[in-house]
Chains A and B, each alone.
Chain A
Amino acid sequence: MIYSMSRHTRALLSFCLALGLCFLSGINHSTFAASIPHGTVDLVAENSWIAPGYGSTVGLHFKMEPGWHIYWVNPGDSGEPPKITWQLPQGLVAGEMQWPAPHKMGASTIVNYVYDGDVVLLIPVNAAASIAPTSQAKLGAMVRFLICSDQMCVPGKAQLSLELPVRARPPALDSSVESMFTAARAKLPQSAPASWKFSARETRDSFVVDVAAGHAIAQAYFYPLVESQIDNAAPQGFEATTLGARLSLHKSDQLVNHISRLKGVLELGHGEAYLVDAPVAAATRKP
């Protein structure tokens, strides 16, 4: 995978040089992918330039060899999510990383929430109105992560950078990366429709989550956004109801305090995933 990418990069470069078009071709939207253990990572900008007073989005794009994975914001029973440290020019501020719905991976006792193959983590970057136009603003990012296979885990880090001009007019979308960003956004969990209601109650060893959607839900899986609340490896109870669904989530042995809210991502299949933030009613004592 690394080799095919560098062949591709070389081909692109020689094509550019042959036509003398490098400065016009807009390849500055992205750094070349950095080689990491068992894959590559690069930073990609959605817009062709930064504009004072406008927000934009960059993507942290991991490509992994088959059999290797990185971790979601809640990694599950082991592992650690990627972390990014920015080096930004004055006037640019990066926001929180946005996490697509993960998938569950694991044996009977150790369960992880991961990404494999190709994943883009989106990060908003806002430009102050006062930022001055320049031909090249350099966005630097140090990325640290853990990448694992069935057999082993390897730490990875990469120093990435992205050079973009700052221009005093609204930013234009870079059409060469539009489909990548559209696909990445489609994988983010969405806010549930306003008419939906989530509620949770606590029993001795479980959280029972009710989803009122106005229609029956055929399947659902709950990915906990916070560690040590539910037992990742325990099978989740699922029951379709006439107007939604009821899930039963076994409590984590590591949960020692009462929690007032249960936060997570509810995946309904077919790429449909919603953010859940449900108030938890305390356990009711039976007479």
Chain B
Amino acid sequence: MRRSAFALIAGALILLVAPLLISAPKIGEPAPDFSAAASNGKTYHLTDLRGKFVVLEWHNNGCPYTRKHYESGNMQRLQKEWTAKGVEWFTVISSAPGTQGYVTAVQENAYLAKMGAAPTAALLDPSGDLGHLYDAKTTPHMIIINPQGVVIYDGAIDDHPTSDAGDIPNSKNYVQAALADAMAGRPVTTAVSRPYGCSVKYAGASH
């Protein structure tokens, strides 16, 4: 009895909130603009990056799926390869204070150095605003924006949704493939996939 009353109230709340939800950026549509502070002290504006490919990589240093790609060196290899080819690569940390993966700028700079990570910068998003703007769901969740500012990839890093680094050699890396396609002027073969990993630890999340 009490449970059904609760379900009714919860249902009513969902209906009220639903129209306010921002839908995720869609493939082929302009990437929403943002301005975000990085652990290196700089602030980055998406509009300043027109003319370049931009990668957004949602990150949580304690999440077993993030660790899979960092402890194996897989993410760092991608970062080095593609930033060397002119890609602007942003690690985005949307963990709220008190949750797994939350870091201060000093802690993040130490982590980047220790792991040999090589993104253009690590964006600190403890409010979750940037994460919600892109509807980032997991760590890792990967988004690629082309030089015209259009979203060309949204999804997982690869096709093995596990936390086992042993799966990496047998995986098809969607980010690698999408960047290679787009830079060669080809349409992106796989433009959407299901991102996998831990849920992004947003402020006020009820799970």
Contact = CB atoms under 8 A, between A and B. Distances in A.
18 contacts: A69-B207, A78-B195, A80-B161, A80-B162, A107-B202, A107-B207, A108-B21, A110-B137, A110-B205, A112-B199, A150-B201, A150-B206, A151-B99, A152-B62, A153-B64, A154-B64, A219-B4, A254-B192
A59 B206 CA distance: 30
Interface of B: 4, 7, 11, 14-15, 17-18, 21, 24, 26, 62-64, 98-100, 132, 135, 137-138, 154-155, 161-163, 192-202, 204-207
A269 B6 CA distance: 13
A151 B195 CA distance: 19
B199 A148 contact: yes
B43 to A, nearest CB: 25
Contacts, number: 92
A153 B63 contact: yes
Given A109-B137, A152-B99, A254-B155, A80 B206 contact: no
A153 B196 contact: no
Contacts of B135: 109
A235 B200 CA distance: 20
Contact of A227 (B99, B132, B194): B194
Contacts of B161: 80
Q: Is the interface of B mostly helix, strand, loop or mixed?
A: loop
A109 B205 CA distance: 9
A101 to B, nearest CB: 15
Most buried by B among A154, A234, A253: A253
A94 B73 CA distance: 36
B198 A153 contact: yes
Q: Is the interface of A mostly helix, strand, loop or mixed?
A: loop
A151 B196 CA distance: 17
B201 A152 contact: yes
B189 to A, nearest CB: 11
B207 to A, nearest CB: 5
Interface of A: 69, 77-80, 105-110, 112, 114, 146, 148, 150-155, 219, 227-228, 233-235, 253-254, 256, 269
Nearest to B4: A269
A233 to B, nearest CB: 8
Nearest to A69: B207
Given A152-B201, A235-B18, A254-B194, 11 more contacts: A78-B199, A79-B199, A105-B206, A106-B207, A108-B21, A110-B202, A148-B198, A150-B205, A151-B201, A227-B194, A254-B192
A152 B199 CA distance: 9
Given A109-B21, A235-B18, A254-B155, A80 B196 contact: yes
A158 to B, nearest CB: 15
B8 to A, nearest CB: 9
